[in-house]
Structure 1
Amino acid sequence: MSSIKNFTLELNDLQFVGKNLSRPECVVAEKDGTLWVSDNRGAVTRLDPDGTETQIGNVGGEPNGLAMDTEGNIYIANLSGAVYKLYRDGHHEVILSELDGKPLGSVNFVFIDSRDRLWISVLTREIPWFPAAARPRPDGYIILMDEQGPRIVADGILGTNEIRLDADEKYLYAAETMAGRMLRFPVNEDGSLGEREVVGPDPIAFGGFVDGFALDAEGNLWVTTVLRNGLVIITPDGEAHTVFEDPNPEALERGVAKVADGTLTPEDMFACVGKTLQFPTSVAFGGPDLKTVYMGSLAMPHLITFRSPVAGLPLRHWQ
C-alpha cells in the first residue's frame, strides 16, 4: 500500500493541459493519451496527445458527465434533461429523456459498469438546476438502465452528482453535493440498492460541496470540493485529507450562509473562485500506468493535471 495519506500538492505543483476549452466539467481518458472533455458549445472536445483540440457533436443544452463504452462511443449526461449517445463521427441519439412519462430533470452523470449497465444520476428534478443549489431540496435520484429498462434505484438525495461503482461492483458511491458528503449504497445482484451510508466526514469540510470523484486501485476516493477549489482523498478507513485547495474564505463563508437561508445567487457562487483554480469538478486517471490525473472544472479553459502515487481504477472502456 502507498502512503496516500501523506500525499499533498502545492498549487505550483499542478500543470495544465488544453487552452481553449469551454466548461470542461468532465474528462474521459483513453489508453493512447486522447482526452474527451465535455463542452457547452456543442457536446465534447477531443484533446489529442499533440495538443490538437477538435469539437465533436452538437447535442445542445449543458453537456456534463461523460462515460465511454467499449466501442469508444461517448455517453453524455446533459443537464437540460437527457442522456445522449455520441458516436465518434459526431452523430448522436437520445438514450433516455423521460421516465414513467415524466421529464428526468437535470441529468448530471452517467457510469457504465462491467455488465454494460448504465447508472445515471439526476441532480434535481428541476430544470434549470441552480434553484436546487440555492435552496437545497432532496429531489435528486439515481436511475439504473439495463435489459429490464430504466428504473429509479435511489431517491431523496440532496443533489446527486457523480456516481461510480467500486472495483468489485459491490457498492455504488455517490457525491451528495448539497449535503457536502459522500454516500455509498450496497448493490444487489438485480441492481437494486441497499441502505445508504455516509463515507468519510459529514460534511467533508466547511463549504465542502462535493462534485466529481474517482476511485483508485487501492479503494481511495479522490473527491473534488468545488467551491473550495480543492481535492480531498478519503481512504477506506474513512479518514480524509486535503491534497490541495485554493479557497476564497470570505466569499465561501458568505456563500455557505446564503445556501443556509436560501438566497444564494450565481454571483455569490462565482465569487468563490480561487486565484489559481476555478471550480474543479471531476477526476480522471489516465496515462499508460493510470497514474496521470486529469481534472475538469466549471470555469477554466484548460484541465488540471499531475502525477499520482497510486494508479486509478480502470473504467469500462479501459478494459
Structure 2
Amino acid sequence: MQRVASITLSGFGVPESLRWHEGALWFSDLAHGTVHRWGGSGEPETVLKVPGRAGGLGWLPDGRMLVVSMDGGRVYRVERGGELVEHADIRDLVGGPVNDMLVDPRGRAYVGNFGFDYHAFVRESPNSMLYAPPGPPKALIACLGPNGTVLGATEPTLFPNGCLLTADGSTVVVAETLAMRLIAFPVRPDGTLGPSRVWAPLISPVLWHAVNHPGLLGRATRRISALLDKPAIARRSSSPIAPDGIAWDSDGETVWVANALRGECVRVAEGGRVLDRVRTSQNTLSCLVGGHDGRTLFAATVPTDDPVRAAELGGGRIEMVRL
C-alpha cells in the first residue's frame, strides 16, 4: 500500500528549499520572501525577510546562512548579528528568477535559475507548449567560492533546480526540471562543475521525443498533454516526473524527488528506476529526509506554484511521513 504524508504545517504561500539544520527544519516561502525555522512543535519562527523573495538556503562552514534573492539576482549572507549583506551578484549569469542552491562543506555554492519568466509563460499557455520548437530557454548554474567570488558556470541546462552533493564530494546531482531528469556534474578541484551526464531519466524516451517533435507528432502530443494537464487526471498518472527539490535517502545512494506535476515524492535509483512513492495532498515542490533520527520525509506542497496566486490562497503546506 502506498504511504501517505500527513499535513504538519499550513498557511504558507510557496514553501520551498527544505533543509534540516542544527536540529530544526528550515524553509523559504517563495511567495512572501520569508525564511522560516521549525523546531518540531508549535508554530514556525519567521527568521527573516529577503529583498526580492527568498529562495535557496545553505550555510557556510562558520555557520552563517546564505539565502538566494530570486528576483534580485543575488545571494545574500546573514552575518552573526543578523545583518543581511550581499554575498554574490549573479545577475549577469541568469535569465530568470534565481532558484535553488547547494552550499557544500567548504562553503562553495551552486546556484540555479529558471532561465526565463516561467510563471508569465504558464499564465498564458499550457505547460506542454514550452516544448514547441525551439523549446524553453536554457539556464546556467553559477559556481561561487566561499567568499562569493564567481568561479564559473556550467553548460546550459533546462531549468536547473534542486541540487545534492555525493558523500565523497566528487559529484553534484541536479534536478533538471523541464528535461524531466536528474543529471550529474563532476566537481573539479577549483570548485567548478564539469560536463554533465544523465543520472536518472524520469520520462519515457518515446514521450520525450514526441513532445519535442517539430512536426505534426509534436503538435498533437503537446495539445493532448495540455488537455490531460488537469489535477484529477494527473493524480491517476505515474509519468512523467518533473523533478523539483531532491534529497538523499538515508541509504545515501537513492534520491527522493519532489514531483512538481502531482502530489507525490518518488524515490529513484541511479538509472531512473522508481523504488518508492509517497502520496501528498498537493503538488510537491521540495522534499527532505531529516528529523532528529534522520528517518522522516518532509514535503513542501502547494495548490499552485504561481507566487502571486499562492500568496492570495495561503494554501502551502509542510507534510511529513515516517520512513
TM-score above 0.5: yes
- Does the 8 A contact of 1:79 with 1:129 survive in 2? no
- Does the 8 A contact of 1:233 with 1:243 survive in 2? yes
- Does the 8 A contact of 2:203 with 2:241 survive in 1? yes
- Secondary structure of 1:131 counterpart: helix
| Pairing partner for 2:245 from 176, 195, 212 | 212
Between the aligned partners of 2:273 and 2:10, the Cα distance in structure 1 is 35
Between the aligned partners of 2:284 and 2:166, the Cα distance in structure 1 is 22
Between the aligned partners of 1:297 and 1:76, the Cα distance in structure 2 is 20
Q: CA deviation at 1:233?
A: 1.3
| Pairing partner for 2:84 from 88, 92, 117 | 92
| Pairing partner for 2:317 from 290, 293, 302 | 302
Who is 2:190 aligned against?
190
Who is 1:58 aligned against?
49
* 1:178-207 deviations in Å (ceiling 9; x for gaps): 111111112221223332111223427634
Who is 1:5 aligned against?
none
Who is 1:82 aligned against?
74
Who is 2:229 aligned against?
none
| Pairing partner for 2:286 from 276, 282, 286 | 282
* 1:131-179 deviations in Å (ceiling 9; x for gaps): 3866352421111111692143313211111122111111111111111
Q: Which moved more, 1:293-302 or 1:208-217?
A: 293-302
Between the aligned partners of 2:148 and 2:43, the Cα distance in structure 1 is 41
Q: Which runs of 5+ in 2 are unaligned?
A: 205-237, 304-314
Who is 2:208 aligned against?
none
Who is 1:106 aligned against?
97
Between the aligned partners of 1:79 and 1:145, the Cα distance in structure 2 is 16
User: What is the one-letter code of the residue matched to 2:85?
Assistant: E
Who is 1:264 aligned against?
none
Between the aligned partners of 2:121 and 2:81, the Cα distance in structure 1 is 36
User: What is the one-letter code of the residue matched to 1:23?
Assistant: V
Who is 2:171 aligned against?
171
Q: CA deviation at 1:91?
A: 3.3
> Aligned runs of 1:107-256 on 2, under 5 Å?
107-124=98-115, 126-127=116-117, 130-131=120-121, 135=130, 136-146=135-145, 149-203=149-203, 206-216=239-249, 217-236=251-270, 238-245=272-279
Who is 1:67 aligned against?
58
Cα gap change, 1:298/1:84 in structure 2, threshold over 3 Å: closer, same or farther? farther
| Pairing partner for 1:15 from 1, 6, 18 | 6
Who is 1:273 aligned against?
none
Q: Alignment length, in residue pairs?
A: 266
Who is 1:265 aligned against?
none
User: What is the one-letter code of the residue matched to 2:26?
Assistant: W
User: What is the one-letter code of the residue matched to 1:185?
Assistant: F
Who is 1:317 aligned against?
none
Cα gap change, 1:41/1:68 in structure 2, threshold over 3 Å: closer, same or farther? same
Query: What's the RMSD between the two structures over aligned residues?
Result: 2.7
State the TM-score, normalizing by the size of structure 1. Answer: 0.73
State the TM-score, normalizing by the size of structure 2. Answer: 0.73
> Aligned runs of 1:18-29 on 2, under 5 Å?
18-29=9-20
- Secondary structure of 2:140 counterpart: strand
User: What is the one-letter code of the residue matched to 2:114?
Assistant: L
- Does the 8 A contact of 1:201 with 1:240 survive in 2? no
Using the aligned pairs only, state the percent identity.
Answer: 24
- Secondary structure of 2:114 counterpart: strand
- Secondary structure of 1:108 counterpart: strand
Between the aligned partners of 2:268 and 2:93, the Cα distance in structure 1 is 36
- Secondary structure of 1:178 counterpart: helix
Q: CA deviation at 1:128?
A: 6.1
Cα gap change, 1:148/1:190 in structure 2, threshold over 3 Å: closer, same or farther? farther
Between the aligned partners of 1:200 and 1:55, the Cα distance in structure 2 is 36
- Does the 8 A contact of 1:110 with 1:163 survive in 2? yes
Q: Which moved more, 1:226-235 or 1:70-79?
A: 70-79
Who is 2:221 aligned against?
none
- Does the 8 A contact of 1:98 with 1:104 survive in 2? no
Cα gap change, 1:89/1:57 in structure 2, threshold over 3 Å: closer, same or farther? farther
Cα gap change, 1:209/1:103 in structure 2, threshold over 3 Å: closer, same or farther? closer
